[in-house]
Structure 1
C-alpha cells in the first residue's frame, strides 16, 4: 500500500510505526467505501483530514460521485478522477484498496484515528507558530486548536459503578428542576419531564396546524434556560424563521413583516428592538440549507456541541420528509427508516434531544374524527419504532369554523417511551404564532 516516505511534511510524528498506522487507517477508510459504498454517508471526515494528497484526491472524488447520486466503485471513481487517475496510483491501486479492506465494520475506528492525528498536527503547527511569533493572534490559533481536541463523543457512557452511585445518591437528594429541557408548559412538562438527553421527539400534524410555530417556541424555551438551540429549516428561509420567532416574542402580527417600517406602531417599535437584541445575543442558531444531508447535520451539531459542552442543548429539524439521503433505497419507507435511525443515534451520541417535525398522511382527512393517530405518520412503522416521544397537534377550528373550542389546540402525546401518554390543551394565537397556556398568559422572553 502507501509508502511512509510519501507522507507530507505537515503531518504529526516521526515514528515509523505511527505513520504506518495513519496510512493504514486512511487506506482502510477508502477501501471500506469501495467495499460498501453506503458507508460514505456515515463518514464525517473531510478531504483535508487525510495525510497525503493521493488519499485526499481519492476521497474528494468519492464525495463527488456520492453527490451525483451514484454508487462509489472503481468505474465511477476512475471517471471522476479523469486525468488524476495515474497520479493517485492508477486503476490497480484503486482495486488494491478494496481488496486490502476485509470489512467496512471498523470504519468508525479508523476514522477516529485519522481525525485524532489531524488534530494533533493542527496543535503542533499552532504551537510552533506561537513559540516562534508570540502574538495575540497566534495564541488564539493555539487555543482554537486545543479546543478542537475535546472528545467527539460528547456524551460519555457511564460505567456500571458510576451509574449505581448516581442512582443511590438520587434516593437521598431531591432533584432540582426537570430531568430534561423544559417545554414552557407545566402540564406538558408533567407528562414528559422535559426533553431529555438522547431522545428523538417526533412532532407531527397536518399542514396549517402550527407545528413549525410550536417547534420554534420550544427552541426558544431552551434559550431561556441559558441553552443552545440549533434549528435546521429545510422548508423556510432563515429570514422567515426569524420573523416568526420575533412575532411570537413580541405579540406583533406577522403580517406586519411585509412592510415593518410602514406598519409597526410607535408602541410596537421598542418591543421589536428589544426582541431583536435578545435574539442577537442568544445561542439561537439557524441552518436553512434545503439540501442538507445527515452527515452535514452531524458535523454542525458536533461543532456547536464542542463550543457549548455544558449548556442545555436542543436540535430542531423541520422537517423529516425533506432530509436529503445519500444512497439508493428500494422503498421510500426504508429511506425514512434510515433517517430516523441515524437521528436517534445522533441524539444518543451527543447526549441531546432532537425534535423532528413530520408530515401526516392524507388518510386523516377521510375520517370523521380527524384527530391524528400513530398510523397516520407517513411510513409510520420506522418513525414510531425509533421515536422516544410522538406528539400530535390538532386544532378543531381548522375543520369546523363553528366550533366552540375557539383557539384551542390539543397536544396529544401518542407515545412516550419513558412516561405516560395523554393530551394537553393550550391556545394558539395564530396572528403572531404563539402558543399559550389555557389561562391565556403569555410567557416572558
Structure 2
C-alpha cells in the first residue's frame, strides 16, 4: 500500500502551495498536482482550501486502494465509475481519514449488552459539512481526470457520461440543514469570564501563568486587541507595525497573501475585507509600549515588519509569532480555571458582536440599518452579507425573550 502525504511548499517569491506526494519517495502525484495547480490554486483560492482539497483526494486514493482499482487506468479505457462504486465511495468519505484507510483483514465485532439488549459500538462519522466538501472536491477531480484521460485518446468517454457521473456523486452529498443543535451565538463568552481573563493576564498579576514580564505584556496586548476589536486570529497575527497609525488613531487590517516578508511556514491569512478600525488612547498606549519597550529589544524583530513576535530564547526569538505559538497561549489560558475552558480567539469575536449590539441599543444613536452597516464594516463583511445576523443571534434572542415576556404581561393586564 502506498502511503500519501501533503507537502507544504513555499516559493522564493513567498507563494505558499501544497502538493500530494508519495510519503516514501516525496515525489508528487502527477494528476492530483495538475488538478490542484490548474483547478484550485489557479482560481485564487487560499492555501487552507488547497489543504482541504488534498485531504479529500487522500480519501479518494485510500478508497481506490481498498476497492482494488486504479482510476487512471480505468478512465483511460473509457470506463467510468458504476453506481455501486459511487455508493461505496460515498460511504467511505463519511469516515475520518485515519479510519478511511485500506483494511487488510476483517475482524469480528463483539456485541455489548445494554439493558439486556445487544448493541454494537458506535461508528465515528465526520461532520456533514466535511463529507459535503470531500464529495464536492472528489466529483470535481474525477470529472477533471476523466476529461484529461480522454484528451488525445479514442477511449469513448462522452461528455454526457462524464457529466452524469459527476452529477451522480454530487447528488449523494449530505443535505446541509440550517438547523443545528447548538447555535453559533452560544460560542460567545460570558462577559464576567472575559473580564477575569483580562485581569489574570494583566502584567504583574500574582496568578499570571506566564513568568516572563515581556511575555506578560505581549499576551495581555493580544487579549485586549481580541476583546476590543473583535478581529480574527489570522488578522491579529498578520498585523504589522506600520498598520498602527498613531496620528490618525487607527489600526488597519490588510490582506497580504503569499507575502515574501513573512517567514512563517504557515502564513496567517486575513479572510475578511480590508478596513481601518479606530482605536482609543488606551489601545494606542498599549501598542506603543509593546513596540518601543519590548519588541524593539530583539534583533531579529528589526528584520521584519510584523507586530507580534516570539519571545522565547532560541533561534526563533524575535521572529513573527506563529499559529502554533498562539495556540499554546490559548491552551495555557484555558488551563487557568475551569470556566476558562471555552476561551479561544473566535469566541472573542462572538462576544464583541454581542457587546456591540447591547451598547448601540442602549445608546440609541443608530437605526438598525446603520448599526448593521457599521458592524459589517468593523468586522470586514459585505454590507449585504448575512453573517451579521448569525453573529447577532444572541442579542436577538434576548430581545425576543424580553418582547415575549412583555407581550404576556400585557395580555394578563387585559
TM range (shorter): under 0.3
Point out the structure with the larger strand share: 1
TM-score normalised to the size of structure 1? 0.26
Q: Which has the higher contact order (CA 8 A, sep 6+)?
A: 1
